[in-house]
Structure 1
Amino acid sequence: MKNLLIKLFFYIIGLVTISLGVTLTIKADLGAGAWDALNVGLTESFGLTVGTWVIIIGAVLIISNALISKSRPDLLAVLTILVLGKMIDFWMSAFAEMSMNSWIAQLVLLLAGILVIAFGVSLYIQPQFSINPVDGFMVALQKRFGLSLTAAKTLTETFAFIFAFTLGGPIGVGTFIILLGIGPAIHFFDHRAQKAMKRMLS
């Protein structure tokens, strides 16, 4: 029971941390990640909050992933979209008045957001529970069509990028900085988070 609680702690805290990082990248106003830009674009085009669109798109992807991979829907992934969606709305509200008055401040906020997202991802993947539907979309494509993870990731990001651009979402230089920087940042934190959880479990 203790081990389960520790793993659940890493999982939930990781998701909450990711939501904070996502909010920081959006507030930096240099361009958000492709999926986050899509959610912002949907908010600006159709209303509802960014977090609500995270939940809606996540639910659609859970069903789509099951159809693509010809398996049962990953119902536990619902937890990821609920936590991310609700917490993104919380942080967006908390930082509603935040505005950067120089591009240097924007860049610093963007880089901070990338590091926070990466730290959160490194925490939430340690217990090896259900992954969020966006990552599930990548895995479903990879397994169904025999793609490499890199190719599958590129396809899913391109899909989100096109729709975000069409909807007028915040696509910019920050979008490409996130795309290039998030992988190395996750790699930096991953083994540290792994060691921390192992210490707590032992």
Structure 2
Amino acid sequence: MMTRRITQLLIGLAMYGISLAMFIRAGLGLDPWDVFHQGVSQKTGFSIGVVVIAVSFLVLLLWIPLRQMPGIGTIANAVLVGLFADLGLWLIPGFSHLGGQIAMLAGAVILNGIASACYIGARLGPGARDGLMTGLVRRTGWSVRLVRTGIEVVVLAVGFLLGGSVGVGTVVYALAIGPIVQVLLPKFMVPERVKATDGTTSGPATEPVEAVPTAPAA
């Protein structure tokens, strides 16, 4: 079971990084955190993959006062998404015509949804940014919607001011990613094993699927 979870996690994170590269190549707008990453990248000269990794570890520092504990998936997420984003940008060409941009955007949204369901379903820990959100929810008592919206508005605004790309892709991502992941997550969710009173495992647990984050990975 653990082999499947780790394999699924790694595949999901690789696809997530490639989908980020596809969003950038589409040139029609990014999700809020990646608008921020792109803006920082443009101002500093570092590749977007390096910025994604650096921001991930900086956000993880904010987990300390929130008493959040990272999992294997948290650390893997912090490293691999950025690496595969840079690899994707090296492999994937840009488009100069709208038809190609739209096709690339559609592919990016679908691949991102599959990737998100894949790594969330592995149950090996949230990404740094989602962990920040859940930690703030727990410590403040505010709603998930309020905390997530507040964080994403701030990073979107800062990223836009730094030169990050905001456009129709930003809106499409916000509207489409939640429903896509919600549909796919049950297919990728690795069931937890139920421990019997004697300490043995008796079989997979049957649990309701948790609410899907709007932007689960980066």
TM-score, normalised by the number of residues in structure 2:
0.82
Q: How does 1:79-118 map to 2 (within 5 A)?
A: 79-95=76-92, 98-118=93-113
Which residue of structure 2 aligns with residue 28 of structure 1?
A: 26
What 5-or-longer segments of structure 1 have no aligned partner? Answer: none
CA shift for structure 1 position 72: 5.4
Aligned partners of 1:137 and 1:156 also within 8 Å: no
Q: 1-side partners of 2:145 and 2:7: how far apart?
A: 29
Structure having the larger proportion of residues in helix: 1
Give the distance between the partners of 1:168 and 1:11, measured in 2 at CA. 32
Q: Is the 8 A contact 1:20 1:88 kept in 2?
A: yes
Shift of 1:58: 0.5
How far apart are 1:102 and its partner, in Å?
A: 2.4
CA deviation after TM superposition for structure 1 residue 65, in Å? 2.4
Give the paired residue count.
192
Q: Does 1:172 align with 2:167?
A: yes
Aligned 1:37-116 pairs, distance under 5 A? 37-67=35-65, 69=66, 71=67, 74=70, 76=72, 77-95=74-92, 98-116=93-111
Q: 2:127 aligns with which of 132, 136, 147?
A: 132
Q: Distance in 2 between matches of 1:72 and 1:123?
A: 22
SS of the equivalent of 1:125 reads helix
* Aligned residue in 2 for 1:141: 136
User: Cα deviations across residues 51-76 of structure 1 (Å, max 9, x unaligned)?
Assistant: 11011100110011222x2x155264
8 A Cα contact 2:19 2:85, kept in partner = no
Q: Which runs of 4+ in 1 moved over 4 A?
A: none
Aligned counterparts of 2:105 and 2:115: Cα–Cα separation in 1: 15
SS in 2 for 1:8: helix
| CA distance in structure 2 between the aligned counterparts of 1:143 and 1:121, rounded to whole angstroms | 23
Can you list the C-alpha shifts for 1:82-129, whole angstroms capped at 9, x where unaligned?
11111111111112xx12232232122112101111100101011211
Aligned-pair Cα RMSD in Å: 1.8
Q: Does 1:151 align with 2:149?
A: no
AA in 2 matched with 1:91: G
C-alpha offsets along residues 106-155 of structure 1, whole Å, 9 cap, x if unaligned?
A: 12211210111110010101121121111112111211111222222211
Q: Distance in 1 between matches of 2:124 and 2:5?
A: 9
Measure, in 2, the Cα distance between the counterparts of 1:151 and 1:102: 38
Tell me which structure has the larger Cα radius of gyration: 2
CA contact (8 A) 2:68 2:135 kept: no
- Once the two structures are superposed, the pairs formed by residues 176-187 of structure 1 within 5 Å of their partners are 176-187=171-182
**Contact 1:142/1:152, CA 8 A, preserved across alignment:** yes
